């Protein structure tokens, strides 16, 4: 029997803070400042004197107004703190606040990237020790923290491949990528100047070995893949895949997006991978989303360490901890040394869990995924492609194609309806090898009662859309943001380059695209 949702999300008519009218001085009264604080602020404001406030368009608002503004925005948001967030391939797990507290220590936050290394020995030691731990987890020999996120590390890895072969006088131009890979893999390879050749999956959802052997030749620089793959299936032929690519002189790159399923259990280096990237902002304790923060440390086997981006952290009894430039480095891939505070959180996470804790986290994530899968596949219209009898790892992909054929209800309509039950919908339409794909990753931090509630919400959402086809365009009804008119929103007449160009905005209303359509 379908339950009526009791979820109601806050819906404030909240303007942008730049659109708020200035307040009178009497409305901005707050507590009295101490003399030292007043003097400090006056010195800081004098340094900003060359930036007239009127040109910056900073509103004159009280502390209370600003506090209420951002509180209301937070009430209209959804996060892991609100409820389960099972986006497949995103590992949206709960991250312990103690790691946030550690990273906000003033001895870390007060550092400047231009300080001499002798004055930041503690920070460099954290990076050095974190590198040693990540090497143990992955089976790599060296890491750099210069890369900011997964796709950034993929790009740097492709540059390393290109540099490696260039130094050897070997001009290779092709990268092999499975059809179930993340979309950033082919994009990164293309940006690095390679041609991409897609390797199809077999009927069990793994790399087709016959197709791989046909594709491998002396022009192949390497292969980019993850294991378990995006379907949540462990590549059973990983040793044969590695041997096939290595025998042709190519390199193996491991996309660390799915490491959460195997950390502490299996190491990419032991499988035969030469290059690995990790998503600290997914697997190792940093909340992510909205563009940051992120960190995608890039690890390599010993024979590739000279090609790592600048800088890497080294140590010697004479010099202590210091930054080093690898001899054949691909150079800088960003400013300074990477997102340091994200690395601090990851270090705290690893120290707190230890090797046994990592193994338990990985096994629990796989257990949660398979428990949820066993219940989801019993829902009407849901099927499991690629050998339904085979267990999945940390995530799984089901298809709603039967629901689409029998009732005309797409994965998109299902996801919109699910929002009204106070949970975040899973990833949809990815990977593209599965029709009407729904990819779910519950992670190890969700208790069984939340998993049960999620399945019940999925079942209710399916029944709701089956019974209310005429109102599908109105869903979701109870979220802060209702469904937008997508054709209208994508029309050039309604697109704004920024809030500054918005009609009725505080700055340069003449730039509104409405007036130039």
Q: Is residue 99 included in any domain, yes or no?
A: no
Please give the model's pTM, rounded to 2 decimal places. Answer: 0.88
Residue 81 preceded by cis peptide, ω within 30: no
pLDDT digits (tens, 9 = 90+) for 330-373: 999 998 888 999 999 999 999 999 999 999 999 999 999 999 99
Q: In this structure, are 147 and 265 located in the same domain?
A: yes
Give the span between the Cα atoms of 423 and 273, in whole angstroms: 37
Contacts with 479 (C-beta within 8 Å, 6 or more apart), sequence order: 9, 419, 420
Q: In this structure, are 274 and 142 located in the same domain?
A: yes
Q: Is residue 411 included in any domain, yes or no?
A: no
Give the span between the Cα atoms of 179 and 191, in whole angstroms: 18
CA angle 89, 94, 98 (to 5 degrees): 135
User: What is the DSSP-derived secondary structure letter of residue 332?
Assistant: B
Q: In this structure, are 55 and 127 located in the same domain?
A: no
Q: What percent of the chain has pLDDT over 70?
A: 89
Q: In this structure, are 134 and 183 located in the same domain?
A: yes
Q: Is residue 270 included in any domain, yes or no?
A: yes
Contact 140, 312 (CB under 8 A): no
Give the containing element (helix H, strand E) for 440.
strand 437-440
Q: Is residue 23 included in any domain, yes or no?
A: yes
pLDDT at res. 481: 86
pLDDT at res. 167: 96
pLDDT at res. 494: 67
Q: In this structure, are 205 and 330 located in the same domain?
A: yes
Q: In this structure, are 223 and 130 located in the same domain?
A: yes
Q: Is residue 444 included in any domain, yes or no?
A: no
Stretch 458-474: mean pLDDT, rounded? Answer: 83
Q: In this structure, are 56 and 157 located in the same domain?
A: no
Give the span between the Cα atoms of 491 and 87, in whole angstroms: 29
Q: In this structure, are 39 and 129 located in the same domain?
A: no
Residue 117 has pLDDT above 60, yes or no: yes
Length reported for the chain: 517
Tell me which of 26, 52, 75 is where a domain ends. 75
pLDDT digits (tens, 9 = 90+) for 156-188: 999 999 999 999 999 999 999 999 898 899 999
pLDDT band at 502 (very low <50, low <70, confident <90, very high): low
- What rounded mean pLDDT belongs to the chain? 89
CA distances from 250 to 155, 161, 193, 243, 330 (A): 17, 9, 16, 10, 19
For tokens 């210091």, name the residue.
Answer: 322
pLDDT at res. 26: 55
Give the span between the Cα atoms of 61 and 69, in whole angstroms: 11
Six-digit token pair at 218? 């002396």
Q: How many domains does the chain have?
A: 2
| Closest of 386, 103, 125, 143 to residue 256, by C-alpha | 143
Q: Is residue 61 included in any domain, yes or no?
A: yes
pLDDT at res. 51: 60
Q: In this structure, are 44 and 140 located in the same domain?
A: no
Q: In this structure, are 70 and 142 located in the same domain?
A: no
Q: Is residue 239 included in any domain, yes or no?
A: yes
Residue 30 has pLDDT above 60, yes or no: no
Stretch 211-239: mean pLDDT, rounded? Answer: 96
pLDDT at res. 506: 43
Give the span between the Cα atoms of 462 and 444, in whole angstroms: 26
pLDDT at res. 499: 56
Dihedral sign for Cα 213, 215, 217, 219, please: negative
Stretch 221-246: mean pLDDT, rounded? Answer: 96
- Domain extent at residue 54: 17-75
Window from 88-102, 136-150, 198-212, 275-289 with minimum mean pLDDT: 275-289
pLDDT band at 517 (very low <50, low <70, confident <90, very high): very low
Chain centre to alpha carbon of residue 423: 19
What is the CATH classification number for the domain harbouring 321?
3.40.640.10
Q: In this structure, are 254 and 133 located in the same domain?
A: yes
Give the span between the Cα atoms of 383 and 396, in whole angstroms: 11
Q: In this structure, are 66 and 201 located in the same domain?
A: no
Give the span between the Cα atoms of 101 and 91, in whole angstroms: 22
Q: Is residue 91 included in any domain, yes or no?
A: no
């Amino acid at each position: 029997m379908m339950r009526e949702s009791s979820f109601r999300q806050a819906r404030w008519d909240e303007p942008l803070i730049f659109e708020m009218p200035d307040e009178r001085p009497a409305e901005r009264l707050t507590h009295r400042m101490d003399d030292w604080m007043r003097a400090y602020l006056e010195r800081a404001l004098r340094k900003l004197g060359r930036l007239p406030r009127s040109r910056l368009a900073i509103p004159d608002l009280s502390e209370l107004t600003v506090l209420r503004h951002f509180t209301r925005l937070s009430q209209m948001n959804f996060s892991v703190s609100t409820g389960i967030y099972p986006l497949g391939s995103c590992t949206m797990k709960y991250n312990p606040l103690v790691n946030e507290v550690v990273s906000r220590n003033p001895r870390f936050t007060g550092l400047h990237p231009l300080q001499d290394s002798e004055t930041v020995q503690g920070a460099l030691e954290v990076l050095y020790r974190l590198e040693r731990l990540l090497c143990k987890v992955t089976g790599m020999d060296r890491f750099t923290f210069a890369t900011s996120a997964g796709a950034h590390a993929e790009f740097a890895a492709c540059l390393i491949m290109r540099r490696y072969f260039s130094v050897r006088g070997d001009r290779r131009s092709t990268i092999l990528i499975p059809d179930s890979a993340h979309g950033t893999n082919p994009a990164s390879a293309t940006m690095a100047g390679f041609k991409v050749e897609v390797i199809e999956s077999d009927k069990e959802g793994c790399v087709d070995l016959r197709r791989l052997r046909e594709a491998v030749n002396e022009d192949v620089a390497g292969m980019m893949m993850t294991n378990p793959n995006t379907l949540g299936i462990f590549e059973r032929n990983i040793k044969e895949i590695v041997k096939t690519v290595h025998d042709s002189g190519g390199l193996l790159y491991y996309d660390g997006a799915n490491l959460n399923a195997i950390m502490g259990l299996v190491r990419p280096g032991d499988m035969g991978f030469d290059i690995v990237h990790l998503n600290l902002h997914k697997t190792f304790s940093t909340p992510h989303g909205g563009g940051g923060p992120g960190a995608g440390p890039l690890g390599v086997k010993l024979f590739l360490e000279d090609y790592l981006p600048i800088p890497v952290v080294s140590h010697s009894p004479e010099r202590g901890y210091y930054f080093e430039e690898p001899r054949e480095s691909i150079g800088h891939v960003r400013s300074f040394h990477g997102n340091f505070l994200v690395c601090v959180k990851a270090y705290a996470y690893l120290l707190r869990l230890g090797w046994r804790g990592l193994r338990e986290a990985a096994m629990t994530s796989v257990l949660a995924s398979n428990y949820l899968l066993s219940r989801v596949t019993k829902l009407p219209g849901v099927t499991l492609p690629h050998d339904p009898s085979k267990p999945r790892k940390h995530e799984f992909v089901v298809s709603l194609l039967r629901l689409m054929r029998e009732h005309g209800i797409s994965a998109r309509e299902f996801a919109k309806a699910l929002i009204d039950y106070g949970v975040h919908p899973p990833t949809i339409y990815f990977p593209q090898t599965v029709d009407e794909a729904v990819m779910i990753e519950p992670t190890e931090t969700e208790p069984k009662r939340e998993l049960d509630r999620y399945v019940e919400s999925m079942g209710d959402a399916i029944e709701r859309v089956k019974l209310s086809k005429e109102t599908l365009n109105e869903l979701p009804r109870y979220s802060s943001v209702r469904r937008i008119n997508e054709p209208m929103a994508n029309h050039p007449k309604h697109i704004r380059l920024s809030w500054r160009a918005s009609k009725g905005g505080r700055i340069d209303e003449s730039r509104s695209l409405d007036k130039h359509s």
